[in-house]
Amino acid sequence: MLRYGLTDNEASILEATIIDFIGLASLTNKMRGWHSKSMGRSNVKDIIQQYTAPDAIFGGENVLLITINKLYRSDMSDNELYQATRGIWKVGKRRKKVKYVCPVYQGIIREVYKVNQWYNASTLKYDYRDLSDLSTLDGRWEFEGEVADESLREKYVGKSVRQRINRGSQNPIKYINC
C-alpha cells in the first residue's frame, strides 16, 4: 500500500500517477486509470496551451473538428497524429463540404489537415492504430489529406475550441461552416 486515508478521488489520481510513472506497457492494466488523460503525463507545452490558448476564430473555411482525447499522446509523431485524425469516424453527408480537419485534444487544436479525398472506412492502411476495437465499420469514413498551408496552421494550431465543443459530449465530431 502506498497511501491510506485517501478520498476516492485522491486515490484515483494517485493510481493514474503511478500508472503514468511505471508505464502502461509494464502493467497488465487495460485502463490507464481515472484522470490519466485530464491530469496525466504531459509535456510543458501542452500544459501551457491548456491555460493560455486564445479562442479560435473561424473565417469562412469549412472545418471538421475531431476530438481525439482517447488517442492523443503528447509525444506522438506527426504521422501518428495524422493517422489518429484521419479515421475512422461516423460522419454524414456534410463531410463532402469539409475542406479542413483539425484534431482536438482537451479543447485545443493540435494540427490542420487539408482533405483531399474521403473513403469508406478501412480503405487506407494504418500503421499506428488498432481498429479491432470497433464493433462495425458500417457508416464510418476516413480521409486522405496533407498538412494545411502555414497560414491556416498559424490561424488555428494551438487555439482553443472549448466554446465550440459541448463539455461531456460523447460525439467527437463538430462541423464548422458546413
Helix (H) / strand (E) containing 28: none
Among residues 167, 165, 166, the alpha carbon closest in space to that of 63 is found at 165
pLDDT bin (cut points 50, 70, 90) of residue 35 is very low
Check if the beta carbon of residue 72 is closer than 8 Å to that of residue 85.
Answer: no
Torsion of CA 142, 55, 60, 171, to 10 degrees: 30
Domain ranges in the chain?
8-41, 51-176
* 141: three-class secondary structure by DSSP: strand
Could you tell me how far CA 23 lies from the centroid of its own chain?
20
Helix (H) / strand (E) containing 35: none
* Grid cell in block for residue 26: 509494464
Greatest alpha-carbon span in the chain: 56
pLDDT digits (tens, 9 = 90+) for 43-80: 677 777 777 789 999 989 999 999 998 899 888 999 99
Rounded to the nearest integer, the mean pLDDT of the chain is 85
